[in-house]
């Protein structure tokens, strides 16, 4: 149970308060340095391949102050969330809380997107470098798998568009399926992505409760639903990857807490299929393995591991049998990556500016939450510590790889909700103001800059 009084052997309240303020200051300082540094130092950092005066590094975005038809609904959702979300997280019956997180999250996602009108839901996915145009043109997906790797290089004939080339074929397959279902229009696909993305908080809350951390789940719920990440969750294919990952980890938690093989096996197989599917959607998502291990360690059960691992391998090997082998594609993708704008982006900036972009996506309160977790290790639940530590480790590995210089505000979306589990450590007196800061940050970003995804 969380209180504002230090437990025996843990840091006193003053120390923990300093840790929160320090974490928040570091987060805001990173953002300020990353946004202001390139202009003050005349540093071209290539947030875009063709830099312009309105670029807003470290985001893939441009300055565009505006209001729109979604402004009033977004402000209304923010005010209602700030007034009621913390209390609702504490008091609502569990099933009703899950429903409330979905409905509130959907309202938040759509209201922010509609600041740009109905195009706010559709325009990003309609761009040629996204998946939809290629999905509509793909009449034979098995044939596409056979030639996938040969079409990755920039100098190849009929090379894949940027996002298709930069991801395994599972990402394109999702949109091919949507197109075959008659949902291949940009508006329809954008709405599907949004409906899927709104389920992410429920998956994280389910995982925490299954691991015995219902109180932490309730404290984190407002921050999982209402924050700046919504700007990218509503319009990015990475939102789908994040949702599949979240439900895969939730399934793994259920499997790990079952007491018999008969009850463990189906959930472990489902977890493996979902997490294997994630690996086939993004080259960075094998890092979900760290979170999967954290879930099993938190449950103190390794029983689901062999079944989940086999199921995940089945997905990967099925694509290989169809002609796409992940281990053959990744080195080719790496060459294309460095043949493009990545070679112009200075690592001396992006190695830390990536973290600033993460703060802009997750919200500045992430810094305060991580500071509190670091200060309160002695009296926080084991699942909270393990999940947050695994998410931090995943980001550290991804950043060090330099395979995501820039654009991480969307690329790292699958890890953001697990980082935000850290907000469960905030004391009660912080939660209302902290949520207000998150909401204000999201509204400011949406109304001041135009993001590219």
Query: What pLDDT, in 10s, does the model give residues 210-225?
Result: 999 999 999 999 999 9
| Residues ≥6 apart with Cβ < 8 Å to 169 | 141, 144, 145, 148, 280, 319, 324
CB burial class (10 A; 0-12, 13-18, 19+) of residue 142? Answer: exposed
pLDDT at 49: 87
Tell me if 188 is assigned to some domain: yes
pLDDT at 257: 97
pLDDT at 413: 97
Residue 451 three-state SS: strand
Contact criterion met (CB below 8 Å) for 337 and 403: yes
Name the one residue in this structure whose structure tokens are 């030639």. 147
Q: How many folded domains does the chain comprise?
A: 1
Contact criterion met (CB below 8 Å) for 413 and 420: no
Show the CA angle centred on residue 66, arms to residues 61 and 69, nearest 5°. 115
- For residues 29, 362, 225, 273, the Cα torsion angle rounded to the nearest 10 degrees is -160
Domain holding 423, by residue range, is 13-451
- Estimate to the nearest angstrom the gap between the alpha carbon of 451 and the chain centroid: 16
Contact criterion met (CB below 8 Å) for 174 and 240: yes
Quick one: tokens of 399? 């950043």
pLDDT at 10: 61
Tell me if 1 is assigned to some domain: no
Tell me if 5 is assigned to some domain: no
Q: What global pTM score does this model have? A: 0.95
Tell me if 6 is assigned to some domain: no
- Compute the 3-state secondary structure of the chain and give helix, strand, coil in percent, each to the nearest 5: 70, 0, 25
Tell me if 410 is assigned to some domain: yes
Tell me if 338 is assigned to some domain: yes
Give which of 66, 67, 70, 72 is closest to 54, Cα–Cα: 66
Contact criterion met (CB below 8 Å) for 134 and 161: yes
Tell me if 4 is assigned to some domain: no
Give which of 162, 155, 160, 128 is closest to 144, Cα–Cα: 160
pLDDT at 75: 98
| CA–CA gap between residue 237 and residue 171 (Å, rounded) | 8
pLDDT at 379: 84
Name the one residue in this structure whose structure tokens are 């120390």. 15
pLDDT at 9: 54
Give which of 225, 226, 206 is closest to 217, Cα–Cα: 206
Give which of 267, 256, 132 is closest to 191, Cα–Cα: 132
Tell me if 7 is assigned to some domain: no
Low-confidence residues in the chain, pLDDT < 70: 1-11
């Amino acid at each position: 149970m969380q209180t504002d009084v230090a437990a025996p052997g843990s840091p006193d309240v003053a120390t923990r308060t300093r840790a929160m303020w320090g974490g928040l200051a570091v987060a805001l300082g990173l953002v300020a340095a990353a946004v202001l540094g390139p202009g003050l130092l005349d540093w071209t950092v290539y947030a875009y391949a063709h830099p312009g005066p309105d670029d807003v590094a470290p985001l893939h975005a441009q300055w565009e102050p505006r209001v729109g038809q979604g402004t009033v609904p977004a402000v209304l959702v923010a005010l209602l969330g700030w007034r009621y979300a913390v209390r609702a997280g504490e008091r609502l019956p569990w099933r009703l809380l899950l429903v409330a997180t979905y409905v509130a999250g959907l309202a938040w996602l759509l209201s922010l997107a509609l600041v740009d009108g109905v195009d706010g839901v559709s325009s990003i996915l309609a761009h040629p470098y996204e998946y939809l145009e290629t999905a509509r043109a793909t009449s034979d997906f098995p044939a596409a798998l056979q030639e996938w790797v040969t079409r990755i290089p920039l100098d190849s004939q009929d090379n894949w568009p940027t996002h298709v080339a930069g991801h395994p074929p599972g990402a394109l397959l999702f949109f091919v399926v949507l197109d075959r279902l008659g949902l291949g229009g940009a508006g329809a696909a954008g709405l599907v992505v949004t409906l899927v993305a709104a389920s992410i908080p429920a998956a994280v809350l389910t995982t925490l409760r299954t691991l015995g951390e219902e109180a932490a789940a309730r404290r984190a719920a407002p921050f999982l639903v209402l924050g700046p990440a919504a700007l990218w969750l509503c319009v990015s294919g990475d939102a789908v990857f994040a949702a599949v990952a979240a439900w895969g980890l939730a399934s793994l938690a259920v499997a790990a807490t079952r007491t018999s093989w008969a009850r463990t096996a189906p959930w472990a197989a489902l977890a493996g299929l979902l997490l294997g599917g994630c690996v086939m959607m993004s080259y960075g998502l094998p890092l979900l393995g760290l979170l999967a291990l954290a879930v099993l360690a938190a449950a103190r059960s390794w029983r689901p591991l062999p079944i989940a691992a086999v199921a995940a391998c089945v997905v990967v090997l099925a694509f290989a049998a169809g002609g796409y082998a992940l281990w053959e594609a990744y080195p080719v993708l790496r060459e294309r990556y460095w043949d493009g704008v990545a070679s112009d982006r200075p690592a001396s900036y992006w190695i830390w500016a990536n973290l600033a972009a993460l703060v802009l996506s997750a919200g500045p309160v992430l810094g305060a939450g991580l500071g509190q977790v670091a200060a309160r290790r002695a009296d926080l639940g084991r699942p909270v510590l393990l999940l947050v530590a695994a998410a931090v480790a995943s980001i550290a590995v991804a950043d060090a790889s330099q395979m995501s210089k820039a654009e991480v505000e969307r690329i790292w979306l699958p890890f953001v909700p697990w980082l935000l589990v850290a907000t469960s450590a905030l004391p009660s007196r912080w939660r209302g103001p902290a949520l207000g800061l998150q909401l204000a940050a999201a509204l400011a970003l949406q109304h001041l800059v135009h993001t590219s995804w």
